[in-house]
Amino acid sequence: MLNGKRILLIVAGGIAAVKVPDLIRRLRERGASVRCILTKGGAQFVTPLTLAALSGQKIYQDLFSLTDESEMGHIQLSRDADILLVAPATADIMAKMTAGIADDIATTALLATDKPVMICPSMNVMMWTHPATQANLETLKARSVEIVGPGAGDLACGEVGDGRLAEVKDIIAALNRFFQRQRGDGALARMRVLVTSGPTHEPIDPVRYISNRSSGKQGHAIAAALANLGAQVTLIAGPTAEPDPDGVAVVRVETAAQMLKASREALPCDIAVCAAAVADWHVADASKTKLKKSTTPPRINLAPNPDILATLAQPGPQRPLLVIGFAAETGDVIEKAKVKRAAKNCDWIIANDVSPGSGTFGGDDNTVHVITAQNVESWPTLKKREVAEKLAGLIATHAAKFL
């Protein structure tokens, strides 16, 4: 979607500006052209030379440069782009955008443009949560400014909370979705999709639980990839440290029972991708108080959890048109997955090896086999993001048959 797009990137002040070179590199890899406006604050963290080298374009800094005005003009600069992207967007520049202040080349370009604007906020958590910033945010949303992030985590100031600049991949995903909406022809634009992701936690007592090593990386990447193709995605996420994919409706759950309930509530949908590693059992008589340590280990009675994949794949009026499951195996991966696909009545099974040493659980890479009723397609080892994008493309090709 970014191939041939012209992006005017406005780099405001803030330590997050150090991520901008990577953003420019990734945008250009996808065929976009990038022009940069660098504010005085932004120049404290990244140099004009760096941005010029990576973008292959002149960097604009001075509103009153006669050369710039004769060659381009700040108004024309703001209107030659397909979108204006502010990254990082500080509290200061958000306030100026809201008030219509134009006291430098960046704010003047933002006020003079007739093109869409997308901002990626980044600031201290207290600045982000301040009522003034939140009021400015609501005003910008009302003016149809696209907002990406911020994320939560450790901040450069040493505090923890909301305020981190969105990851480069998430900014690119948001740009992709924007241009897909603008064109109105995303491959999955008319599709409602349900994705489950991450592990489940089945309580033993209020502080202990049964779970597995799933990180949720693959399921979250699949949700993001499907959203990038225009799908309306609901992600049912078990406990995971993975950030919410941008543009995806996220429902957080803890247990298998909660995941099943949330999945049923997300119906009807066109496609279901059950990527979650759901615990097979729960504790039948979980203690309501913490079990005390003693010389005799407690006896734990296990009961089977509901089978979410089999439930969604049951024949009936609410069965999705395409139901995809995952099979995490530690030996005879393909054969075991074939049996699982037939037993669960799902259309496809994505099989992968999670043996010790494979690095699949918690890692960034995955080696999968796509198993259908007709054949087995084995893919080379790929980044989980690449697996997600390839799977999303395969889903889109299949979905075209029943659009």
Look up residue 106 and give its two tokens.
């960046």
Look up residue 391 and give its two tokens.
């799977």
CA atoms within 13 A on the CB side of 269: 24
CA distance 326 to 282: 20
Cα torsion angle, 183, 188, 194, 196, sign: negative
Q: Are 247 and 225 in contact (CB under 8 A)?
A: no
Active site annotation includes 157: yes
3-state secondary structure (DSSP) of residue 107: helix
> What is the distance, to the nearest Å, from the Cα of residue 174 to the centroid of all Cα atoms in its chain?
9
Q: Are 141 and 133 in contact (CB under 8 A)?
A: no
Beta bridge partners of 209: 203
CA distance 57 to 194: 42
Of these residues, 36, 120, 157, 269, which one is catalytic? 157
CA distance 248 to 347: 24
CA distance 397 to 271: 13
CA atoms within 13 A on the CB side of 11: 31
Look up residue 305 and give its two tokens.
């959890």
- 195, burial (CB in 10 Å: exposed 0-12, middle 13-18, buried 19+): buried
CA distance 37 to 124: 23
Amino acid identity at 63: L
- 125, burial (CB in 10 Å: exposed 0-12, middle 13-18, buried 19+): middle
Q: How far is CA 332 from CA 43, 190, 338, 339, 357, in A?
A: 56, 38, 10, 11, 16
Q: Which residue has the tokens 């048959």?
A: 401
Q: Are 253 and 259 in contact (CB under 8 A)?
A: yes
Active site residues per annotation: 157
